[in-house]
Each structure stands twice: as C-alpha cells, then as structure tokens.
Chains A and B, each alone.
Chain A
Amino acid sequence: MSLRSPLGRARGLGSAKSGTGHFWMQRLTAIALVPLALWFAISVVGLSGADYATAKAWAGRPVNAALMLLVLLTAVWHAILGVQVVIEDYVHGGAAKWFGLIATRLLGGFLAVFMAVSVLKVAVGG
C-alpha cells in the first residue's frame, strides 16, 4: 500500500518536486547536441585561421547563424544541467552549494544571452 496521495501520484513529481524534468532535459539536449556538435567541430575546422571578413561572412549566412544559435543555447542548457549535478554530488556545504548552483544558472544565462546577441548582431546588424 502506498502512503502517497492520489494527487501526488498523478503529478509524479516526487520529493524533489521536479520529477524527471532534469533527467529528460539532460538527455534531450544531449541528443540534439550530437549533430550540432559535429557541425560545430566541422565549422571550427573550416574557420581555423580565417580572417575577420571570412569569419564575418560565414556567420552572416542565415543557416550558419541559426545553427550557431542552436549550438550555444543547447550547449549552455546542457552545461547548466551537468554542472548542477557535479555541484550537487561533490559540494555538500549549504552556502557553498547554493552559491554554486545559483552562480551556475546566472552565469549560464548571461553567456547564452551574450552569445545570442553577438550572433544576431553579426547576422542581422551587418
């Protein structure tokens, strides 16, 4: 017999209050990053040693800008989830742990916005 209420069971969120959300997003972003990371690696190879005009022209093409946006947003999300797990596993002091978790999210959010604005400036702003 279960002591869990019917509502709690229907929500399925468990004691951490987020259910399988973290697990699922970690896997979903991982699957998305398989082709994105390969495209990114090939692109970086193509741009190695490229001068400013070449790199700017490359980033100005819509397909490259779109894929780069997907790479950075997915990678930052995946990184936030992964670093969160590492902190939760190894940092046990209350203040240090929460500082790390909050800093990870804030820094990740800043990086995502900063990189997205940069990509869009090159792609749209000319």
Chain B
Amino acid sequence: MSSSHRPLSPHLQIYRLPLLAVMSITHRIAGVALAIGLLLLAWWLGALAAGPGAYGAVQAVLGSLIGRVVMLGFTGALFYHLFNGLRHLLWDIGWGFEIPQAYNSGRTVIAVAALATVVTWLAAL
C-alpha cells in the first residue's frame, strides 16, 4: 500500500501557523509570563514592606536598561492577555465564532494591546 501521496499532518518546521493559532499560543505564553511576573510583584511589595534600602535596590534594578526592557515585555504581555482574554470571554458567551469575525477581533486585540502598551509607556516616561 503506497501512502506517498497521502496528505500529511502539518510539518512544524515548514508549516506557517495561521494568525489565530499564533494568537492562541501567544495567549498562553503571555499568561505563563505574567504568572512568573507575580514573583516580581512579590519582590516589589516585599521590599516596600521591608524598608527604604530594599525598596531602593528593587527600584534600581527595575530602572536599569534590562529592567525597563523586562517591564516593557510585561506591559505588552499584560495588555495582550487582558484584551485577548476579553475575546475569549466573548467566545464563552457564543459571540464571534465565524472565521472572519475571529480574524477581525484578533487584529483588533493586537492593535489595542499595542496601543495600550505605547500609551502606558508614554505616560510613565
């Protein structure tokens, strides 16, 4: 039995994931990143409770170049997960299941998350 012309399942090294698939896995990655980011929040809150010395050390790390890059990443992850999470909640109540709607809502989420990230950093700097 020859199977050479049978369709194969997607070959991950050459298969280009559709936008919706990329957005789905990005939602998970952003969620896990934000869960890890809770360690950073705990560090900051613990330092605030500990005193000026500990707080200054945390602020110095967060204010450094690497700290700012990490915070920028967390800002983007937060807004992406937040707005894409709203999209998931809308799906939960049965809204927007058609493929064109899913693409439109997906592009909207990306645009709004990017805009919110930029506005946040313009306000913070």
Contacts and interface: CB of A to CB of B under 8 A. Distances in A.
- The finding on whether chains A and B are genuine partners in a shared complex, rather than unrelated, reads yes
A75 B45 contact: no
A55 B55 contact: yes
B38 A114 contact: no
Contact of A118 (B46, B78, B82): B46
B28 A30 contact: no
A58 to B, nearest CB: 9
Nearest to A82: B31
B39 interface: yes
A18 to B, nearest CB: 18
A27 B35 contact: no
B35 A115 contact: no
Interface stretch (A9-17, A44-52, A91-99): A44-52
Given A45-B123, A75-B38, A86 B32 contact: yes
A102 interface: no
Contacts of A106: none
Main DSSP-derived SS at the B contact region: helix
Contacts, number: 78
Interface string B53-92: 0011001000100000000000100110010011011001
Nearest to A49: B63
Interface residues of B, number: 33
Interface of A: 27, 30-31, 33-34, 37-38, 41, 44-45, 48-49, 52, 55-56, 59, 68, 72, 75-76, 79, 82-83, 86, 111, 114-115, 117-119, 121-122
Nearest to A110: B42
Contact of B52 (A45, A52, A111, A121): A52
